[in-house]
Amino acid sequence: MGNRFVCMTKKDSKEIGSRSKRMGGGGRSQRKMMTEEDLHLQALSMALQQHQLSQRFEGSMSRRIGSTSSRRRTLPDSVPVNNKQVPEDLENIKIKKFVLIHGEGFGAWCWYKTVASLEEAGLLPVALDLTGSGIDLTDTNSVTTLAEYSKPLTVYLENLPEDEKVILVGHSIGGACISYALEHYPQKISKAIFLCATMVTDGQRPFDVFAEQLGSAERFMEESKFLIYGNGKEKPPTGFMFEKEQMKGLYFNQSPTKDIALAMVSMRHSPLGPIMEKLCLSPDKYGAGRRFYIQTLDDRALSPDVQEKLVRENPPEGVYKIKGSDHCPFFSKPQSLHKILVEIAQIP
């Protein structure tokens, strides 16, 4: 599969590249409003180009970020890291491949800043579209199980060489997908990083993490106005999606305007089945995995209190906190997120 956004063909790449060039040429005398499709294509083009460049730092790696212990760490609002000027010391990083798993409604596109910064640091990021997400063409309404939803990730892990491992990063409900992967492919995973994510325990549903904010699953299924009935009103709901204004307040309360605009034209509704499924997690597989949690302290979708409860009830090896981050630190605090990811990668 290589270092790229999954589901992107060569034809897609050329088409997006040419569209991007046309969009960039409006310049001096006339600035036209981009269509929603143009905005989306430009962001995908940027991310794709970052993947294809795959430039590595090979000069002197003089600054060491350092390893961390299981102590909790809080990053300040502004981290003095400029990835192009302060190269990380990668000598003690054995596993350099990151597999980035998006949350509900998102796609591989949301990681474009993280992909760029990790590649510039000499690491190997891969962002995947889960089934029915991003530019994956599967009908989201047909995705009914966590196994189906996570299939792009499990197929990727299955195809890794026997001696190769990766670092998984799961955002929001993507945490359930990396938990599922830890249970089924523990030998392929060096570390699992839960980014303001649903780090559930055995027998829990991803939805249970949000129960305090959304109410019981039964009530949500009966009363929520955010449900989508892809098979007709007489059939059970197949997905959910918040209204745009609610998404802005829940997910993007600290994110830049341009990233919010990108999200508004790129997000798709989420399949309901996977988040209502109870996970079976065993002590010898999932329990033996190396888990890390990144808390976001200005998060309105998954509150800091809920995140604190998750790490208290299911303690990971290390906990990190990002001040001033909303539910999408890859938009609101990309440098802080980058520093934490590199720091976790350096842990022996």
Residues labelled catalytic: 172, 299, 327
DSSP H or E segment with residue 212: helix 211-214
- The answer to whether 190 touches 170, Cβ cutoff 8 Å, is no
Residue written as token pair 């065993």:
282
The CA distances from residue 46 to 7, 67, 116, in Å, are 16, 32, 9
- The answer to whether 296 touches 162, Cβ cutoff 8 Å, is no
For residue 189, what are its two tokens?
Answer: 């995973």
Distant-in-sequence, close-in-space partners of 85: CB < 8 Å, separation ≥ 6: none
The CA distances from residue 118 to 52, 109, 171, 282, 301, in Å, are 13, 15, 17, 32, 26
DSSP H or E segment with residue 261: helix 257-266
For residue 334, what are its two tokens?
Answer: 């990309």
Distant-in-sequence, close-in-space partners of 150: CB < 8 Å, separation ≥ 6: 130, 131, 177, 180, 181, 274
CA-nearest of 148, 181, 188, 165 to 281 is: 181
For residue 105, what are its two tokens?
Answer: 């409604």
Report how far residue 162's alpha carbon sits from residue 185's, in angstroms, rounded to the nearest whole number: 11
Dihedral over alpha carbons 338, 344, 346, 348 (to 10 degrees): -170
DSSP for 303-335?
-HHHHHHHHHHS--SEEEEETT--S-HHHH-HH
DSSP H or E segment with residue 17: helix 10-24
